[in-house]
Amino acid sequence: MTERLTATPTGIATAARILRDGGLVAFGTETVYGLGGDATNPTAVARIFEAKNRPRFNPLISHFASAEEAFTQVQATPLARALAERFWPGPLTLVLPRAPGSTVSDLAADGLSSLAVRVPKGDAVLALLHAVGRPVAAPSANRSGRISPSEASHVLEELDGRIDAVLDTGPCAVGLESTVLDLSSPGRPCLLRPGGVPVEALEALCGPIARPETGFDVAPLSPGRMLSHYAPSLPVRLNATSVGPQEGLLAFGPHPLPDAAVTWNLSSEGNLEEAAARLFAGLRFLDSQQQVFDLTGLAVQPIPAQGLGLAIQDRLNRAAAPRPTEPDAP
């Protein structure tokens, strides 16, 4: 059952407690309703993808109560600070290099070295984010492929029973997602998604903005951008049914394949949510064991093609994809 909370101090405190405990709460921002979870908790983030029925992982926007808090998670440039000063709270998302001490989980950032941050507008949402005191990951609160909700009742139509609560903050003023601006690489800022703040308003402050001709909203998956994804340095072999003594094993389920040099089980109980939450940590761990065990590659046991399994498979397919020999500069 999804609890419907009102935007009163009690309702906001309840919503904050659920989020801090790893639960999911949808809440209104000035753009659309977001499906919020603690961005530092990979299990909460896995639940977001599960609730949305997303066939693949996407990098999520982390939401904050203030620019100061947002800028603890990313390396803010003077331009980023100027844009924040002018447009936050408001419908602008900035993509910046992650700060070395960033606490946002790899699953929320989809393993990228950059992070999308935003301070939304609205008294209730800001009070909520302040009470949570952690980055809150929030994609639009619809099932994958459906229309973004701009009222609490729309959220319930899509997600009733799949999330813990919805904080009813009334209808959204903008009704269209935030503008996503990439400031993560040196040079000209790049528009990744048109949205609530017109590009012209941004250009008045930061000069010409590059606009990719195609692929709005898919930029992180375009070939150039895939290079900045975290991929293990070892070659990855999928759907393994046996494993060699110089391979690291990413196992799944109660029967990890024998003979691997080193094993990381995504979920010994065969739970896909747990597997999603442990995926990036597992890839990093096995990669870190390369020298220790003289590994030549990583083998991955089959993952069921259902629910979050599809998203896990998608991410592993990308990790196993052929890589260019000379990666571009990040």
Residues that bind Mg ion (CB under 5 A): 140
* Token reading at 246: 């110089």
Is 120 an interacting residue with respect to ligand TXA (CB under 6 A)?
yes
Is 192 an interacting residue with respect to ligand TXA (CB under 6 A)?
yes
Answer for which of 59, 90, 111, 232 binds ligand TXA (CB under 6 A) is 59
Query: Cα–Cα distance between 275 and 307 in angstroms, integer?
Result: 12
Is 89 an interacting residue with respect to ligand TXA (CB under 6 A)?
no
Query: Cα–Cα distance between 302 and 35 in angstroms, integer?
Result: 30
Partner in contact with 73, chosen from Mg ion, ligand TXA, none, beta carbon below 5 to 8 Å by kind? none
The nearest distance, CB 289 to ligand TXA, in angstroms, is 27
Strand spans (E) along the chain: 3-6, 25-28, 33-38, 61-63, 92-97, 114-118, 136-137, 165-168, 179-182, 190-193, 236-237, 247-251, 262-265, 297-300
Answer for which of 123, 157, 217, 269 binds ligand TXA (CB under 6 A) is 217
Rounded to 10 degrees, what is the CA torsion of 50, 139, 65, 88? 170
The nearest distance, CB 244 to ligand TXA, in angstroms, is 35
Is 5 an interacting residue with respect to ligand TXA (CB under 6 A)?
no
Query: Cα–Cα distance between 19 and 323 in angstroms, integer?
Result: 38
| DSSP-based three-state secondary structure for 123 | helix
Q: Which stretch binds ligand TXA (CB under 6 A): 90-98, 275-283, 305-313, 316-324?
A: 90-98
Is 240 an interacting residue with respect to ligand TXA (CB under 6 A)?
no
Is 60 an interacting residue with respect to ligand TXA (CB under 6 A)?
yes
One-letter amino acid at 91 equals P
Considering Cα of 270, then 275, then 281, then 285, what sign does the dihedral take?
positive
Is 58 an interacting residue with respect to ligand TXA (CB under 6 A)?
yes
Q: How many residues bind ligand TXA (CB under 6 A)?
A: 28
- Which residues in the 162-191 window bind ligand TXA by CB under 6 A? 177-178, 180, 182
Q: Which stretch binds ligand TXA (CB under 6 A): 31-39, 233-241, 249-257, 315-323?
A: 31-39
Nearest by Cα to 25 from 173, 129, 157: 129
Q: Residue 182 or 247: which CB sits closer to ligand TXA?
A: 182
Using DSSP bridges, classify how beta strands 297-300 and 236-237 pair: parallel, antiparallel or unpaired.
Answer: parallel
Partner in contact with 126, chosen from ligand TXA, Mg ion, none, beta carbon below 5 to 8 Å by kind? none
* Token reading at 234: 């070892």
The nearest distance, CB 266 to ligand TXA, in angstroms, is 24
| DSSP-based three-state secondary structure for 116 | strand
Residues that bind ligand TXA (CB under 6 A): 29, 31-32, 34, 58-61, 91, 93, 95, 112, 114-116, 120, 138-140, 177-178, 180, 182, 192-193, 217, 219-220
